[in-house]
């Protein structure tokens, strides 16, 4: 599994198709191979991992779609209110018959039987649900075999009904022709004749759509037959690698995980006003759908950085010393002055330079590394520079160090001793001097990766 906090060697990035989430930038060594794996693929989709862009970066300085209902017919019958004198059936009567006839044509029982299956097909033309709380039926993606059985049953019943209603459709077509003959027999009047002819065109298109219902349903049924019961993962190359492993420049690559819905071309063809038969191999070139994006994967290849900087706090385990003159009193009366020792514990702000020992590892997708460390800071207790050296352990961006603290401390000079009497009058201030010393210390800091291998 790839880490989002460390510099990866070869690793695998797993993406859940039902719950896709765009990952952060993945940082990898120049010789690493990032393999993209998709789980829970949809049986209705073809997945592909496609290159989008590559950007060369200078290394940092060491310190710096909808499926329409089949029953819909475009247009609306326009009713006329005027009649011509001396005509047994005038334009108003004919337009009224046209409206009633359109309603009969559209009222095909096969459409009602197919409706549940069509609604289920419309669902899989959209993206899969992203969580279990979705209102979508999860079966198309989790149990496609059962889902297909329900859709195919609805389509088969609709095909049978469409065949049975063929004679009714032919009768309706004859009525449309009869109305056409009546319109042609009317006096030539551009006002109402044009309206009636337009209504007649709508009726003709509706008859054609009804005649083609069985073909449409069968086309969908054939398309469902080739849908597998389980989804197929990525077919194309899933390995992302640096194009030039010898180039010391960093390289940022962006890849897109895309999908093509297998039912989209068929759905478009059967939902048109005049559906065409399968156009064959050459015709399908014009039906190739546009790939739809799922997520983007960004990988930055870079040379491993052995030098890092961290900043934090160093805590010496032993105190620092100061010496002062202190008065001794008895019953409220000063009777003597002595040499007094004062102990001070402090915290030292430090900046550490860390050199990677061996190689960094990935544990539970988190970056782990060991460093040799040199730290420098300002000691508020001594008002002097403090140094530290030792080993450090890093987990993610936290660095825990065990150091030998090298710093200055104060000690008595001139023969003075702790508790020594300095006299009551004209008491001298004890002489002190500073010396370098080594004491154990621990440090906690936050790493600042020079190469950007973690965020």
Chain segment 393-425, per-residue pLDDT in tens:
988 788 999 999 999 999 989 889 998 888 888
What is d(CA 349, CA 375) in angstroms, rounded to the nearest whole number? 10
Backbone angles phi, psi at 293, to 5 degrees: -75, 145
375/354 Cα distance (integer angstroms): 9
Question: Quick one: 193 and 210 in the same domain?
Answer: yes
What residue numbers bound the domain in which 278 lies?
1-304
| Phi, psi dihedrals of residue 336, rounded to the nearest 5° | -165, 165
437, β-bridge pairs? 407
- Mark which of 304, 335, 364 sits at the end of a domain: 304
pLDDT at residue 439, as a whole number: 93
Tokens 């049924």 sit at which residue? Answer: 221
**453 in a domain, yes or no?**
no
Residue appearing with tokens 């003159």: 325
End-to-end CA distance of the chain: 18
Q: Are both 298 and 314 inside the same structural domain?
A: no
Distances (CA, A) of 163 to 157, 170, 186, 267, 276: 10, 11, 36, 21, 19
Residue 93 domain flag: yes
The DSSP secondary-structure symbol of 348 reads E
| Selection from 320, 393, 321 nearest residue 356 by Cα | 393
| Claim to verify: residue 248 and residue 334 sit in the same structural domain | no
Looking at the structure of the chain, the number of domains it has is 2
Residue 322 forms part of a structural domain:
yes
Decide: residue 267, CB within 10 A, 0-12 exposed, 13-18 middle, 19+ buried.
Answer: buried
Helix (H) or strand (E) holding 13: strand 11-16
Residue 375 sits in the same domain as residue 300: no
Sign of CA dihedral 186, 187, 192, 198: positive
Mark whether 11 and 151 lie in a shared domain: yes
Q: Which two tokens stand for residue 324?
A: 């002062």
Distance in angstroms (rounded) separating the CA atoms of residues 51 and 58: 21
How far apart, in whole angstroms, are the C-alpha atoms of residue 14 and residue 26?
13
Question: Within a 10 A sphere around the Cβ of 188, how many other Cβ atoms?
Answer: 6
- As a whole number of angstroms, the distance between CA 120 and CA 265 comes to 17
In a structure prediction context, what are the per-residue pLDDT tens digits for the chain, which is 455 residues long? Answer: 888 877 888 999 999 988 888 999 998 988 899 999 999 898 998 899 998 999 887 666 544 432 333 444 445 677 766 555 554 577 888 888 888 888 888 888 888 898 888 888 888 888 776 555 566 778 888 888 999 999 999 999 999 999 999 899 899 999 989 988 888 888 766 678 888 888 888 888 888 888 888 888 898 899 899 889 888 888 777 899 888 777 777 889 999 999 888 888 888 878 776 554 444 444 444 555 678 889 999 999 987 777 888 899 999 999 999 999 899 988 888 888 898 999 999 999 999 998 988 877 777 777 888 999 999 999 998 889 999 999 999 887 889 999 999 999 999 898 899 988 888 888 888 899 999 999 999 999 987 755 444 44
User: Residue 150: what are its φ and ψ, rounded to 5°?
Assistant: -65, -45
| Burial zone of 374 (CB within 10 Å; 0-12 exposed, 13-18 middle, 19+ buried) | middle
Say yes or no: 333 and 204 in one domain. no
- pLDDT computed for residue 289 by the predictor: 62
Check residue 88 and give its pLDDT. 58
Residue 416 lies in a domain: yes
pLDDT digits (tens, 9 = 90+) for 146-175: 999 999 999 999 999 999 998 998 999 999
**Residue 331 maps to a domain:** yes
Distance CA 125, CA 114 (A): 17
- d(CA 330, CA 336) in angstroms, rounded, equals 9
The pLDDT, as a whole number, for residue 107 is 84
Q: Is residue 283 part of a domain?
A: yes
Pairing of strands 366-379, 348-363: antiparallel
Q: Are 212 and 111 in contact (CB under 8 A)?
A: no
Which pLDDT value is given to residue 133? 59
Residues 300 and 179 reside in one and the same domain: yes
From 304, 327, 360, give the residue that closes a domain.
304
The reply to whether 454 falls in a domain is no
252 and 401 co-located in one domain = no
Task: Mark whether 231 and 329 lie in a shared domain.
Answer: no
Helices in 32-134 by DSSP H: which ranges? Answer: 91-106, 109-124
Residue 58 burial (CB count, 10 A): 8
Residues 167 and 220 in one domain: yes
Please, what's the b/e burial string for 105-138 (b: 16 or more CB within 10 A of its CB; e: otherwise)?
A: beebebbebbebbbebbbbbeebbbeeeeeeebe
Instruction: Answer yes or no: do 116 and 207 share one domain.
Output: yes
DSSP summary character for residue 8: B
Shared-domain flag, residues 151 and 253: yes
**Single residue among 273, 304, 335 that ends a domain in this structure:** 304
């Amino acid at each position: 599994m790839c880490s989002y906090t460390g510099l990866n060697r070869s690793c695998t990035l797993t993406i859940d198709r039902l719950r896709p989430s765009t990952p952060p930038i993945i940082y990898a060594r120049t010789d690493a191979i990032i393999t993209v794996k998709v789980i829970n693929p949809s049986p209705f989709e073809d997945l592909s991992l496609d290159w989008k862009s590559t950007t060369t970066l200078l290394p940092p300085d060491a310190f710096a779609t909808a499926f329409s209902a089949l029953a819909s017919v475009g247009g609306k019958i326009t009713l006329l209110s005027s009649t011509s004198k001396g005509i047994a059936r005038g334009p108003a009567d004919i337009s009224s018959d046209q409206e009633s006839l359109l309603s009969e044509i559209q009222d095909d029982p096969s459409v009602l039987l197919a409706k549940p299956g069509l609604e289920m097909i419309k669902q899989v033309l959209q993206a899969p649900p992203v969580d279990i709380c979705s209102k979508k039926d999860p079966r198309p993606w989790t149990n496609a075999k059962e889902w297909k059985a329900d859709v195919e049953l609805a389509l088969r019943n609709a095909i049978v009904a469409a065949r049975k209603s063929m004679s009714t459709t032919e009768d309706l077509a004859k009525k449309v022709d009869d109305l056409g003959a009546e319109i042609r027999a009317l006096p030539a009047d551009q006002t109402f004749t044009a309206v009636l002819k337009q209504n007649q065109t709508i009726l003709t298109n509706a008859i054609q759509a009804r005649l083609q219902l069985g073909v449409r349903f069968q086309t969908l049924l054939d398309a469902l037959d080739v849908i597998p019961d389980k989804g197929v993962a990525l077919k194309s190359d899933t390995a992302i690698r640096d194009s030039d492993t010898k180039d010391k420049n960093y390289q940022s690559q962006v890849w897109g995980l895309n999908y093509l819905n297998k039912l989209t071309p068929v759905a478009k063809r059967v939902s048109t006003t005049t559906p065409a038969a399968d156009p064959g191999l050459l015709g399908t070139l014009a039906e190739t759908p546009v790939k739809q994006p799922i997520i983007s994967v960004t990988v930055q290849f870079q040379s491993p950085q052995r030098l890092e900087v961290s900043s934090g706090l160093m805590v010496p385990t032993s105190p620092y010393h100061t010496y002062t003159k202190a008065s001794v009193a008895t019953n409220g009366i000063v009777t003597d002055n002595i040499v007094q020792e004062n102990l001070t514990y402090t915290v030292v702000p430090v900046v550490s330079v860390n050199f990677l020992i061996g190689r960094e590892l990935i544990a539970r997708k988190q970056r782990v590394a060991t460093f040799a460390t040199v730290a420098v800071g300002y000691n508020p207790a001594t008002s002097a520079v403090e140094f530290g050296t030792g080993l450090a352990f890093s987990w993610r961006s936290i660095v825990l160090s065990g150091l030998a603290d090298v710093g200055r401390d104060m000690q008595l000079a001139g023969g003075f001793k702790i508790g020594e009497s300095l006299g009551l009058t004209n008491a001298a201030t004890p002489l002190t001097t500073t010396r370098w010393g080594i004491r154990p210390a621990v440090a906690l800091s936050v790493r600042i990766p020079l190469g950007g291998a973690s965020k």
